[in-house]
Structure 1
Amino acid sequence: MPKFAANLSFLFKEYPFLERFAEAKACGFEAVEVLFPYEEPASEVAKRMADLNLKMVLINTPPPNYTGGERGFAAVPGLEDRFRKDFKRALRYAQFLGAAHMHIMAGKAKGLVALETFKKNLAWAAAEAPTMSLTIEPINPIDMPGYFLDDFDLAIEVLDSVAELNLGLQFDAYHAQIITGDAMLAWEKYAPYVRHIQIAGPPDRHEPIKGLVDYPAFFRAVDASGYQGWVSAEYIPKKRTEEGLDWFRQAQ
């Protein structure tokens, strides 16, 4: 079975943010990810992780938390300076926490100028952070209308064009199912590009159990592919997080 991480922006929200690390550890997770951890001092987050021997898998850029704001700027023409400034801030945070990956959010934009802006910003970021693994993630247009990167073939076009070794695909099986209609087929097609995996159960983004996506089969396919990274649980628990972790316990 793959190695599973807990997304603390989604799971264990019954607890204050800094308490979620201990709850994740108590439930058996050895790694976590946090989409936007910037509201807490990096030193405090790092201390919690060190005390619990937890790994940080991924954080998002840009900071700070985008609640009520934009979903990134990497593909937005005219905001290149803001993208670079925010990227540098997020990079410092990621490096302090020892994050394995940084997800670069594209933002809301459309058209060829946005595509070229996205490519140029990604090439700059890859050169700015040559030792950091960077990811881009297709996000379905129902959850995030207007988001630039809403298609897997578009993501592959971008990755092939930028062609940087530290830039790869973030594959969320939930988004893949909604975008393509077949997450398993999408995995088979795009697995060679994948740097990081996230999971949730479509259509309501709840626990990753067998349904529109056959998750036991998906986990077997991930294992068969030779993927060595983490699979992060990024879903909305139906009840308390602990009550919905049978999928995780059965996978151990």
Structure 2
Amino acid sequence: MPRFAANLSMMYNDVPFLDRFEAAAKDGFKAVEFLFPYAWPAEDIAARLQHHGLELALFNMPPGGTDAASIDKAWNSGVRGTTALPGHEAEFRQGVALALAYQRLLKSPRIHLMAGLIGAEPEMMRATYIANLRWAAAEAAQQGVDVLIEPINTRDIPGFFLNRQDQAHLIVHEVGAANLKVQMDLYHCQIVEGDVAMKIRQYVPTGHVGHIQIAGVPERHEPDTGEVHYPYLFDVLDEVGYTGWIGCEYRPRRGGEPGGTSAGLGWVQPYLKRP
């Protein structure tokens, strides 16, 4: 049976970030995920998780920068990761160190490392990517944490370095770290490749998929809209034995309207209400 984690960077954005934990718990979610927690003290986030009985499924290392102000500036200026960027190794390592410091309090078993935008020769970027992932995986292993890489479509993020499932799995194989896995976002997969059910059947049984995410295609709204029939894909995930969280990384149709996220949860309520 699928288990769903609310993405608090995209959902419940009618209330301040720290209040979204309560909103998700009231709607029946048992887990959450989010992008970047660095604008808030880790202690405050940990307290919200504990108070509302929520598990943290996933969060991202900084997209760039090394503190709250520079991280926010990097994201708002279009930086989408440093893992594959030659010349940014020191910034990357500081970002990993900050993410792992947060993880020690937040207890997430996995952290996502964004690759970044193409800005150098592909082979140079690939070599940088491999080297940085090996270093980060070794650091994260000391805390029992998985590090994830995610193929992202170039319509949402033009020029993103990693786009396809086969590319990601080749990287995982080359790095050779047991705690390096793929974050398989079915929204991105549908846009870039299609044939999503067969991709699930191909890759999830390998044990190298560490997290699943979903959204309706093409608008990235609730998964009960658009061209993908998610109830079928949820059955396929059950078929192949996936028992991890499924991150709801979508933008609710009703956006920031009061109660807008909750109003759009009809698709997931049957799953949340199951024992």
- Output the TM-score relative to the length of structure 2: 0.89
Residue of structure 2 in register with 1:189 after alignment: 202
1:35-114 mapped onto 2 (5 Å cutoff): 35-62=35-62, 64-65=71-72, 66-109=75-118, 111-114=122-125
Q: How many residues align?
A: 252
1:176 CA drift (Å): 0.5
1:103-124 deviation digits (Å, cap 9, x = unpaired): 0110112511101110110000
Q: Residue 163 of structure 2 is aligned with which of 150, 154, 157?
A: 150
1:47 CA drift (Å): 0.6
Q: Which amino acid aligns with 1:248?
A: V
Instruction: Structure 2: give runs of 5+ residues left out of the alignment.
Output: 64-70, 255-259
Contact 2:218 2:226 in 1 (8 A): no
Distance 2:109 2:266 in 1: 27
1:28 CA drift (Å): 0.2
Q: Which amino acid aligns with 1:137?
A: E
Contact 1:210 1:216 in 2 (8 A): no
Contact 2:165 2:184 in 1 (8 A): no
1:163 CA drift (Å): 1.1
1:197-233 deviation digits (Å, cap 9, x = unpaired): 1110110101012642210011111111111210010
Residue of structure 1 in register with 2:135 after alignment: 124
Residue of structure 2 in register with 1:215 after alignment: 230
1:63-104 deviation digits (Å, cap 9, x = unpaired): 634233411100011111111111111111122101121001
- Output the TM-score relative to the length of structure 1: 0.96
Residue of structure 2 in register with 1:247 after alignment: 267
1:246 CA drift (Å): 0.7
Distance 1:179 1:134 in 2: 23
Instruction: Structure 1: give runs of 5+ residues left out of the alignment.
Output: none
Q: Secondary structure at the match of 2:212?
A: strand
